[in-house]
Amino acid sequence: MPTVRSFVIPTVMKHGLGAIQTLADEAKALGIKRPLVVTDGGIVKAGLLDRATAPLKAANMGHAVFDKVAPNPPIATVDEGAEVYKSEKCDGVIGFGGGSAMDTAKAIGVVAANGGSILQYEWADPQPIKNRIPPTICVPTTAGTGSEVTLWSVITDTKRHIKFNVGGTPHIGAWVALIDPELALDLPAPVTAGTGMDALAHAIECYTCAYAQPLPDSVALNAMEYVGQWLRVAFAQGHNVEARYKMSMAAMLGALAYGTESAGAAHAMSQSAGGVHDVPHGALTARLLAPVMEYNYKGEPQKFARIAQALGEDIRGLSVWDAAEKAVEAVYRLTEDVEIPTLQQLGFKEEEIPMLADIAFKDPQTIGNPRDLTLNSYVQIYKRTFDQG
């Protein structure tokens, strides 16, 4: 039997079309008078930032903007944002954007509440984060990362060429997650695809890992069903509101499950490899997911059979082994249907396999994977993934 486990989420989740309109009211309810809006240049360029600042202006709420977040945010960006938070005399944070913007917003909060540099708060036992982040609202503009409800922030250390985790404590959780699927209507198809597959990876990896427990399992299965039914539609019809709504729910549910018990080879690989080449986390995880499942299904055949069903596969009359294999096939097919780039297209080279396998093997998410892993297992999974190029 598993040891005693808990499921903690300190975040109030508010979602629905037009939810962004309530941003100023939510900020006021948290006692925020002057928020720092943390976002990235792409949001500004796309003209989306107004969607966050207009409700603040309408409510005469003064605010500062930090828009220097880039994908895979480095330590320096977080520390600079924390300086802006201080110099602008802010008393709350609004993370507005994809995973990088929300991770940076939460990380800025960690530094604002605990001092120093974000480097000091890399996850460790004992937990280095002692104080809760200031009132923070996370507003996702993609549907994948689910950072609005996770207890983690992933930061890149450009000197060590790794991404490290900050969090694992309710102290880093956003106070409010404001999820408005309308914000994703103009998301480009490749971003829809990569982020949506990331949500699926969160759901599958937490559902099958050694730390799985009934409550997140049920949440994860629901996320898989939404992705199976709606990702292709959101990819093909960006303005399909129902598809965007269901994918925003998939991201939130996947992250709710994943954020409390993350483990699995796909994220061990994508997170470590993401420190080597600066590529989108979603696309990289997506490309690795099916080959990892192909390796893993023997460890948890019943659960993989259930994944197949959640993804819409007809498993009636099949043995549990055949049904489990259907889950692998379904994810391979989905990966191609939403045109996820190959590892080669993402800029990786086969000569890098020994190095990539080595850093994946050292990643903490290796522990808890549903099938035992050796260094050579990672070499084989990488070879299989490159073969699809």
Residues at the interface with Fe ion (CB under 5 A): 198
E strand or H helix at 376: helix 375-386
What's the closest the beta carbon of residue 316 comes to Fe ion, in angstroms?
32
What's the closest the beta carbon of residue 229 comes to Fe ion, in angstroms?
20
Query: CB-wise, 198 or 313, nearer to Fe ion?
Result: 198
What's the closest the beta carbon of residue 87 comes to Fe ion, in angstroms?
33
Distances from the Cα of 236 to the Cα of 113, 135, 188, 231, 330, angstroms = 43, 37, 10, 9, 18
The CB-nearest residue to Fe ion is: 198
**CA-closest candidate to residue 169, choices 198, 204, 213, 133:** 133
What's the closest the beta carbon of residue 297 comes to Fe ion, in angstroms?
20
Query: CB-wise, 198 or 325, nearer to Fe ion?
Result: 198
Compute the C-alpha angle 75/151/147, nearest 5°.
75
Query: CB-wise, 198 or 261, nearer to Fe ion?
Result: 198
Query: CB-wise, 196 or 301, nearer to Fe ion?
Result: 196
* Long-range Cβ contacts of 1-5 (<8 Å, 24+ apart): 2/211, 2/213, 5/211, 5/213, 5/261
To the nearest 5 percent, what fractions of the chain are helix, strand and coil?
55, 10, 35
**Distance (Å, rounded) from C-alpha 117 to C-alpha 110?**
9
**Distance (Å, rounded) from C-alpha 103 to C-alpha 198?**
15
Query: CB-wise, 27 or 105, nearer to Fe ion?
Result: 105
Contact 139, 96 (CB under 8 A): yes
Query: CB-wise, 198 or 225, nearer to Fe ion?
Result: 198
What's the closest the beta carbon of residue 196 comes to Fe ion, in angstroms?
11
**Distance (Å, rounded) from C-alpha 381 to C-alpha 98?**
28
What's the closest the beta carbon of residue 331 comes to Fe ion, in angstroms?
15
DSSP per position, 13-68: EEESTTGGGGHHHHHHHTT-SSEEEEEEHHHHHTT-HHHHHHHHHHTT---EEEEE
What's the closest the beta carbon of residue 281 comes to Fe ion, in angstroms?
6
Query: CB-wise, 48 or 206, nearer to Fe ion?
Result: 206
- Cis amide leading into 126 (omega within 30): yes
Query: CB-wise, 63 or 202, nearer to Fe ion?
Result: 202
What's the closest the beta carbon of residue 53 comes to Fe ion, in angstroms?
28
